[in-house]
Amino acid sequence: MPNLHSNILGEGQPLLVLHGFLGMSDNWKTLGSEYAENGYEVHLIDQRNHGKSFWSDEFDYSLLAEDLKDYMDDFQIEKATLLGHSMGGKTVMQFACTYPQRVRKLIVADISPKFYPPHHQYIIDALLALPLDQVKSRSEADSELAKHLNDWGIRQFLLKSLHWVEKGRLSFRFNLKVLATKMEEIGDSISGSDSYKGPTLFLRGSRSEYISEQDLPMIKQHFPSAVLETVPDSGHWLHAENPEEFMKLSLQFLNR
């Protein structure tokens, strides 16, 4: 049985897609279907402590990269194209540098290889303050989260992971207890001096500050063939905020 849960769409060359922090594979279902229509076997993967995949007290990018290797071994995928957003981008970067022979092409969405100081604490605090044992509906959960989180878009993103464990009891699909203690690991840089010399595309949101010009030397150190493109009218969730342009730029790269 595969170590990670996934949703597989289409047929063709394997394209493995990894979501970001507190996300899940379902966030990519619409774009995944479009990639499948363009001739790819798309694997939308839940990383450990997220979605329907297993929970673990251990969590860092070396482990997430090993999870991905195990997944590819389980499905007998010798070589794949990898696409990762944010935390998922760090995972695919770490994997590509550790196992470059297993990667056909690499797409990294709005993250660089560097260390990011913890900056999600306000979201974690809002989630920890949510009285899930008293909440009886998504709208109630939204009202409670709104007391601590003003951003409607972030609240809706988080609430996608809310599900009924049993009648009358809601829970999140991500392992909040563990993830709340792993802010340093989530911001960590990819390790080692290894590199992936194959075709690599970095996509950044025009309104996002996650990838700056100052990051380019470090990007080139690990990914000497990297190209950086900017998705207009988008922030950190560039694939959701401007899916048409994200799809256009990624397909141009994939189909070269």
Give the E-state strand segments of 76-212 in sequence order. Answer: 80-85, 103-109, 162-166, 169-172, 200-205
User: Smallest Cα–Cα separation from 50: which of 12, 90, 88?
Assistant: 88
The DSSP call for residue 46 is P
The total number of residues written for the chain in this structure: 256
User: Smallest Cα–Cα separation from 88: which of 6, 199, 209?
Assistant: 6
Annotation says 193 is catalytic: no
Catalytic member of 86, 112, 208, 250? 86
Catalytic member of 5, 19, 236, 239? 236
**Distance from C-alpha of 2 to C-alpha of 176, rounded to nearest angstrom:** 23
Tokens of 114: 């560097």
The residues near 201 (Cβ < 8 Å, ≥ 6 apart) are 105, 106, 107, 108, 226, 227, 229, 249, 250, 253
- Residue 219 buriedness (CB in 10 A; 0-12 / 13-18 / 19+): buried
**Distance from C-alpha of 144 to C-alpha of 172, rounded to nearest angstrom:** 15
**Distance from C-alpha of 160 to C-alpha of 154, rounded to nearest angstrom:** 10
CB 224 within 8 A of CB 215: no
Tokens of 64: 């997430």
Annotation says 195 is catalytic: no
Catalytic positions: 86, 236
